[in-house]
Amino acid sequence: MKKNYFSTLFAALMLFVAMPAKAQVSGMSDLFGKYKFTATIETTAAGEAHKDLWKNECEVIITKGAGGAPACVKGLLGATEDQTVSSINPDENKFFVINPNPNYGLLSANPYIGVADMTLEDLQMYTMEYHYNSETKEITIPNFAICEFSWPGGVMTGAVLANVSNVKLELIESEEVTIPEIEGEWSFKPYSLGYVRNDSTFVYEFKMNLVAKDDTKKLYDATFNFEGFEPFTLEATFNGTDLVIPFNNQYLDAEKKIRLGVKATTQEMTLIKEGQLSFSYSSPTLMWQGDYVVVRKDVITTEEVEGVVVEKESAETLQQITYGYLERKDPNAFDWAGTYTVSVNEVEDFYAEDGVDFSDSFEMEIVASAGGFTVTKFAGYASEYYPSVELVPSADGKSATMELGSSYYGFTILQSFGEVSVDGGTDYAYHALTDANSESTYLKLTVNEDGTISIEDFTVSYYLWQADSYDSIVLMTGVTAIKKETTDGIESIAAENKMAEGIFDLFGRKLEAITAPGLYIVNGNKVLVK
C-alpha cells in the first residue's frame, strides 16, 4: 500500500513538472514584442480611392510608450502613426487605447482617416480594446470600421471606408525588457494644484522609499511617509514599466479612521478599502501616477429605525489626486539644479550703438521641475515668466540640452516688448534666446572633468512674431559656467562683495545713459526715474 501510494505521488509530481508553466501578464511589458497582424478588411465603394492606406497583413510592434504611457502600438493596419496605450486590466486580459486616432487620423491627416466603432456612435469617444490570451499572448481586437471623418455644421461624422474583422496579432518575438533600478527614496507631487481636490487642506505630497526584496529588481517593500502620520509599508511589484502597490484596509491613522481609498463614482464605492497605487516608469528620475491617490475618513453615524438604534457607515473624502508623479535624484547623474556664474570669452554686439551693453559675465539659474530641469535665469534676463527653458539631461548625465523651441510659443522668450510699429503696420516684438545661427533649436551644455560647464555659442535675437523673423543682436562665444554651491566635490565660489558701478536696467544690462522713465540700478542703488 505504501509502495503504491509513493508511485502514485511520484507520477503526479512528474506530471506537474512536465506541464508547461503558464505565461502570466501582469503589465504591458509582458506583451512587448513583435507581432504578425492579420485581418479581414471589406472595403466599401467610398473606400476604394483610399485602400492603399491600410494593410490586412503587416508587422506590429508593442513597446514602451513615451511620457510615462504604459506602452505604444506601432504599425496597426500598416499605419505610420503610433497608438498610445492608456491602461491595462490584467483581471480581464485587456488593454485600452482611449485615443486610437492620434494626430488627426491614424491613417491620414488630410483627409482625416482613422478608426471607429462599428456602430459609429460617439466617434470622438471611441476607445479601442485589445484582448489578449495570457498564456499564448495572442491578441484580438473587436470588429471596427475605417472612416473618413468630417465636421459638417460643426458635428463630427464618419463615412465608412472599410469594415475590419477577424483581427489577430500573433507573437513572433518577445522584447527582452531590462528592469531598471528604482530602489531609493521618491517624492510624490501632483502635476499641478488643479489636479488636487480643491476643497481639501489635507496633505497632497508624500515620500516613498523602495527597498528591493531580492536580486530580480521586481519585488519591493514600499514605505510611505505622509507628513503628520506614522510611516507604513506595503508590498510592491515592478515589471520594468509599471510599479503596482496593492493595499487592503490600510490606515494612515487607525484611531482617527483615516485610510487609503479608491476613486468613487457612487456613495457605496467610498466604502471600498481595497485597491492599488500604480506608477509608470518614465526615466531614472521620474514615474507618472496611474491610479488615483485617494485618502478617506470612515464616519459612523447612528439613526433610529422603528425604535432600534442602527449604526450607519460612510466615508468622507479628505484628499483625491487625479494626476501626479514620483521623482528622485539620480545618484549617477550630474545635479543640474543650482546657480552658476557664467563667463563669456567674446561678446560680439551687432548693435553697439543702441546704448545697451551685454556683459561678459552673468548668472544662470537652473531649477528642478517635474522629472527634469528648467533654466529660469540666463544672459542677464530673468522674470516671473521669462526665460523658462526646458533643460533635458542626456542618458549618461554628462551633458544636457536647452530646448529653445520647446515652449508653447515655439521659441524661448527672454523679454517681451508687446506691440510695436513695423513698416506702417504692427507686430509683436521679443528678445529671444537662439543658437549660434540665430535659430530656435537647442544649446548643448557639457560637464567637463574639472567640474565646469561648457555652453555652446549662442545669440540673443530680436524676434517679430507675425513676420517670423530673427535679427541677431549679440553673439556670445567661448561660454563656460561653474556652480556657486558645492556639489560632487566642486568647491563653492564665494560671491565677490563689490558694488557694480554704472547704470543698469532690471535685466542687468549696462546703459550709457537713462533715456526713458523707469526703475534703474545706479551704482548699486535702485533709482526710480519719472
Which pLDDT tens digit goes with each residue over 206-215? 999 999 999 9
- Comparing CA positions, the residue from 186, 455, 189 lying closest to residue 330 is 186
Does any domain span residue 307?
yes
Q: Are residues 168 and 192 in the same domain?
A: no
Q: How far apart are CA 394 and CA 165, in angstroms?
A: 44
In a domain, 4, yes or no: no
Choose one of 122, 142, 174: the last residue of a domain: 174
Q: What is the pLDDT of residue 357?
A: 79
The residue type of 528 is: L
Asked whether residue 476 falls in the same domain as residue 504, the answer is no
Query: Hey, what amino acid is at 344?
Result: V
- Residue 372 scores a pLDDT above 60: yes
Are 74 and 159 members of one domain?
yes
pLDDT value of residue 520: 57
Are both 363 and 452 inside the same structural domain? Answer: yes
Across the beta sheet with 308-321, the strand order is 251-253, 258-261, 293-305, 308-321
> Domain residues for 37?
28-174
352/486 same-domain check: yes
Residue 394, pLDDT above cutoff 90: no
Of the residues 292, 327, 362, which one is the last residue of a structural domain?
A: 327
Is 211 found in the same domain as 321? yes
216 with 342, same domain: the answer is no
What pLDDT, on the 0 to 100 scale, is given for residue 224?
Answer: 98
- 19 in a structural domain: no
Domain for residue 3, yes or no? no
* Closest by Cα among 280, 240, 485 to 371: 280
- Same domain, yes or no, for 99 and 157? yes
Residues 318, 438 share a domain: no
Say which CATH number the domain at 226 has: 2.40.128
User: For the chain, what is the domain count?
Assistant: 4
Is the residue at 518 inside a domain?
Answer: yes
pLDDT tens sequence across 87-121: 888 889 999 999 999 877 899 988 999 999 988 88
Q: Which region holds residue 449: left if phi is over 0, alpha if psi is between -120 and 50, else beta?
A: alpha
Structure letter (DSSP) for residue 185: E
**Of the spans 40-49, 370-379, 390-399, which averages the highest pLDDT?**
40-49
**CB 27, CB 70: distance < 8 Å:** yes
**pLDDT tens digits, one per residue of 297-349:** 999 887 877 778 788 889 999 999 999 999 997 767 788 999 999 999 999 99
Q: Are both 303 and 382 inside the same structural domain?
A: no
Is residue 22 a part of any domain in this protein? no
Q: CA 205, 211, 213 angle in degrees (round to 5)?
A: 140
Q: Let me know if residue 10 belongs to a domain.
A: no
Ranking 164-178, 405-419, 422-436 by mean pLDDT, the lowest is 405-419
Q: What residue has cell string 563656460?
A: 480
pLDDT value at position 283? 83
DSSP letters of 286-332? EEEE-S-EEEEEEEEEEEEETTEEEEEEEEEEEEEE-SEEEE---TT
Closest CA to 441 of 467, 461, 427, 416: 461
Pair (254, 282) in one structural domain: yes
111 upstream amide cis, omega within 30 of 0: yes
**In a domain? residue 283:** yes
The mean pLDDT of 29-37, rounded to a whole number, is 94
Question: Looking at 113, 144, 174, which one is the last position of a domain?
Answer: 174
Position 20 pLDDT exceeds 60: no
122-166 residue pLDDT tens:
787 899 999 999 999 999 999 999 999 998 887 888 999 999 999
SS (H, E, C) 429-460: EEEEEEECCCCCCEEEEEECCCCCEEECCEEE
- Tell me, yes or no, whether 457 and 503 share the same domain: no
For 120, the grid coordinates are 459609429
